[in-house]
Amino acid sequence: MTGTGTFGSRLERKIAQYGPLCVGIDPHAYLLSQWGLPHTAAGAREFSLRVLDAATDQVAAIKPQVAFYERFGAAGYSVVEELFVEARQRDVIVIADVKRGDVGTSVDAYADAWLTPGSPLEADAMTLSAFQGFDSLAGPLNHVVNNGKGLFILAATSNPEARVIQTARVIGEEDEQRVSVSAHLLEKVDGWNASHSTGAAGSVGVVLGATLRLSDYGIDIFRTREPSLPVLAPGFGHQGAQLTEARAIFGNLLPSTLISESRSVLSSGLEGIVDAVRQRSDQVRREVVGTP
C-alpha cells in the first residue's frame, strides 16, 4: 500500500523516520460525542480523517479498529475505504485491526479483502487470530510473500480473561517440552520470518500487551532475533503501561516494537488532536528510542 519492498522493511524505515508510535483510530460513541460529532458514519468519517491529518508525517503507522465502522454497515465500510485511500496517498502505513481468523477458503477470503493490491479495503497489514492453528494462516502468509504485506498475530493480549488460554501449555511439535500457547505462536512466527524474510526486518509480527509480565507467558524478551520480530504493543497510555518501562517490558524486541495508543491521544478532542499526536510522538521518541 505504501512504497515498495517488504512490509518489514517499510515499517523499519517509518520507525527510524518518525519513531515507533502507532495511533489507533477508534471512533467510540463517547469519543464522537466528545468531539461534537454525530454517532453516524459521517461522524466517524470526520473523526477518522482528522486523526489521519494529525498522524501524517508524525507516526510510524495508524491502526483503524474496524469494529467501530462495522456498526454503521455499508456506510461505515465506505468510510474505511476512503480512509485507506487517503492514507495511501500520504504514504502512511495502515494496519487494519480486524482480528480475523478461520480455516481454508474463509481465511483466504479475509486476507484477499484486506491485503490484495487494488482491493477497496487494501491495507499494509492486518491483525489475525491463530486460534485454529498457525498453519491455518497459509492464505494470509501468501500475501506477505507475494504482495509485500504484513501480519500481526495475537499472541499475548492485555485483556485479563485471555490469560487462562494464552498461558496454557501445549506440546511442541519437535520435542516434548511444554510451552505456553503465547510462546508457541511467537516461535512459529519467528520461524516463519527466518525462513521467508530476505532482509533484517521480518514482515510477520505478534501482538503483545504492554501491561503483561511476558515471562509469565513463557516469552523470552531478551532472545536476539534475526530477522527482527515486529511487535504491536497495546497497553500504553489509557491502559496504564508507562513509556519508561518499555525496555524492561520488551527487551531486545523493543527496536521493532510499535507503541500502540488510541484513547490517550484521541481524548484530546477535535481541536487538540494535532498537538496531542505531535507531543506524544515526541515523547515516545525521547523516552523509548532515546532521541531528542
Cell 491502526 sits at which residue?
A: 63
The Cα 87–Cα 121 span in angstroms is 12
pLDDT band for position 198 (50/70/90)?
confident
**222 Cβ neighbours under 8 A, 6+ residues apart:** 251, 252
Mean pLDDT highest for which of 79-93, 183-197, 228-242?
Answer: 79-93
The Cα 290–Cα 273 span in angstroms is 24
Catalytic residue among 14, 63, 99, 149: 99
Cell 510522538 sits at which residue?
A: 281
Three-class secondary structure assignment of 108-129: HHHHHHHHCCCCCCCCCEEEEC
Report DSSP state, residue 241.
B
Is the distance from CB of 158 to CB of 210 less than 8 angstroms?
A: yes
Is the distance from CB of 111 to CB of 144 less than 8 angstroms?
A: no
Q: Could you read off the pLDDT of 24-82 as tens digits, one per residue?
A: 999 999 999 999 999 999 999 999 999 999 999 999 999 999 999 999 999 999 999 99
Is the distance from CB of 49 to CB of 81 less than 8 angstroms?
A: no
pLDDT band for position 173 (50/70/90)?
low
Q: Where are the domains of the chain?
A: 7-286
Record: fold of 7-286 = TIM Barrel (3.20.20)
pTM, 2 dp: 0.95
Say whether 14 is catalytic.
no
